Amino acid sequence: MEKTRQEYIHDLAVVQDKVHQMGIMAQEAVKKSVKALLENDAELAKTVMKEDDAIDDMIIDIEDDCILLIAKQQPIAHDLRVIATGFKISTDIERIGDHAFDIARVATTGKAPLDDERKKLIRELADCSVEMVSKAMEAYRTADVRLADEVRHTDKAMDEIFNRTFYSLSHFISNSTYPPEEVTKLLFIARFLERIGDHAVNIAEWVVYLETAERIRSRKKGDSLDKAIG
């Protein structure tokens, strides 16, 4: 027997709840990975790496739910957008989790070669990226287009923080007594955090699409770090 409309609405809500839960897990992973890095806590970093499997499992679960809804219900209009954005947002969240894993992996290699000033910059960058993810997921949970737009507009501030951090770290590397290969990892940390902000912007743009059917894509900038490190 075909599902009633009420059951179908419930199934769509379940997908959205799972996506939101996955987003909170990824957000916490970023916070813990940065804490592990700045406090030289290798055990916490290892915990973050182990917990990444749960995030990976969730995206598979969400994808399976979305495929079943498409196959059995043939959704249209807003219902189809709920499913499509479930796919897209969970992919961005999974990549946020991957970046948290990468940061944690650096934190397991030993004491991060950071002085107090560079720690402050990394923390500022991390705080901005985590806030963007938090707001993007709240916008998704509450269908708040205004909040989604706020995330999108925060991207400029994130880029400014990243640029300051990048040049500060570049100078630090040039004048540091630490092994160059160790200090260079800090540039990758900054890049991972900046990318997390980019994924938050993607999520915000999918929220706008979900609620308005309007496709928005932010203009992508040149990647100065990728050019610098070849």
Report pLDDT for 229. Answer: 35
Taking each helix axis from N to C end, the angle separating 5-38 and 180-212, rounded to the nearest 10 degrees, works out to: 160
As a whole number, mean pLDDT of residues 134-157 equals 97
Report pLDDT for 220. Answer: 55
Higher pLDDT, 116 or 147: 147
Report pLDDT for 2. Answer: 55
For residues 89, 31, 134, 10, the Cα torsion angle rounded to the nearest 10 degrees is 50
Radius of gyration of the chain (CA): 19
Lookup result for tokens 């402050």: 120
Total domains in the chain come to 1
Helix (H, G, I), strand (E, B) or coil at 203: helix
Range of the domain at 142: 5-229
The percent of residues in the chain predicted with pLDDT above 90, rounded, is: 74
As a whole number, mean pLDDT of residues 40-60 equals 96
Q: How confident is the model at residue 224 (pLDDT cuts 50, 70, 90)?
A: very low
Q: Report the first-to-last Cα separation within the chain, whole angstroms.
A: 58
Task: List, for residues 86-95, the tens digit of each pLDDT value.
Answer: 999 999 999 9
Using the predicted structure, report yes or no on whether residue 144 has a pLDDT greater than 80.
yes
Report pLDDT for 219. Answer: 57
Q: Phi/psi class of residue 186: alpha, beta or left (left: φ > 0; alpha: ψ in -120 to 50)?
A: alpha
The 8-class DSSP code of residue 177 comes to S
As a whole number, mean pLDDT of residues 197-203 equals 97
Cβ–Cβ under 8 Å, residues 59 and 91: yes
Of 55-64, 67-76, 211-220, which range is least confident?
Answer: 211-220
What DSSP letter does each residue of 126-148 carry, written as one string?
A: HHHHHHHHHHHHHHHHHT-HHHH
As a whole number, mean pLDDT of residues 75-81 equals 93
What predicted TM-score, i.e. pTM, was given to this entire model?
A: 0.91
For the chain, give the mean pLDDT: 90
Of 47-51, 120-124, 126-130, 181-185, which range is least confident?
Answer: 181-185
Question: The domain spanning residue 174 has which CATH number?
Answer: 1.20.58.220
